[in-house]
Amino acid sequence: MSAAIVVVIFTIQRAELSVLLIERAAPPFQGQWALPGGVLRDDEPLQGAAVRLLRDETGVSDVFLEQLYTFDPVEGGRAGVVVAYFALVDMARVRLRPDLDWRPAWQSVRGLPPLAFRNETIVDYARERLQNKLGYSNVAYSLLPPRFTLTELQRVYEAIEGQPMDKRNFRRRVVGLGIVRETGETRKEGAHRPAMLYEFERAAGST
């Protein structure tokens, strides 16, 4: 049996962490939702397969992508072990496939239904890894434009953590980590005074 590759693709949609799922059009689990995935091709490296799946489903590949874990074979699957990756994409850059069969759709990670092949276990594991990485890295860079306000960054963190954060504590947290810097530019938003624009020190983890 060959290995299967699945990719947990996260984005922020309507202030919530969402994951890309595919509605299966054939057995097994026809009509149920599942993560994008497939069988590893002959002579294809694992990372290459993950990049291929990410590009096929979203149209982008120059984003954060990391191997997550190798899971045991699941009931109903046609492959052996399942090698999972997770990726982060900015909704503004994504172009989903227009297919009616094997339909892709974003769904909030809050209250996901049971997924095909027990994929909800992989989604939960990926979200936990993402939350942990927020504490020491700039992993959120793929979820934002190149320049952003601290308020926009805080909204991303809140969506991933699933809870609101104190504005002053958040500012100390991200500035203290040394992962962002001021650009010297501002953006006017409504009646408020212009907000400082920031950028990440570096974009780590892209493919």
Residue 115 reports pLDDT greater than 60: yes
Residue 207 reports pLDDT greater than 60: no
CATH class of the domain comprising 146-200: mainly alpha
Confidence band, pLDDT 50/70/90 cuts, at residue 80? confident
Tell me the whole-structure pTM to 2 decimals.
Answer: 0.92
Domain map of the chain by residue range? Answer: 4-133, 146-200
Tell me which of 176 and 78 has the higher pLDDT.
Answer: 176
What's the chain's average pLDDT?
92
d(CA 174, CA 172) in angstroms, rounded, equals: 6
pLDDT tens for 85-108 read 999 999 999 999 988 899 999 999
What CATH superfamily classification does 4-133 receive?
Answer: Nucleoside Triphosphate Pyrophosphohydrolase (3.90.79.10)
Cis omega (within 30 of 0) on the bond before 45? Answer: no
Cα angle at 97 between 93 and 101, to 5 degrees?
155
Which alpha helices (DSSP H) does the chain contain, by range? 46-58, 119-133, 150-161, 167-177
Residue 152 reports pLDDT greater than 80: yes
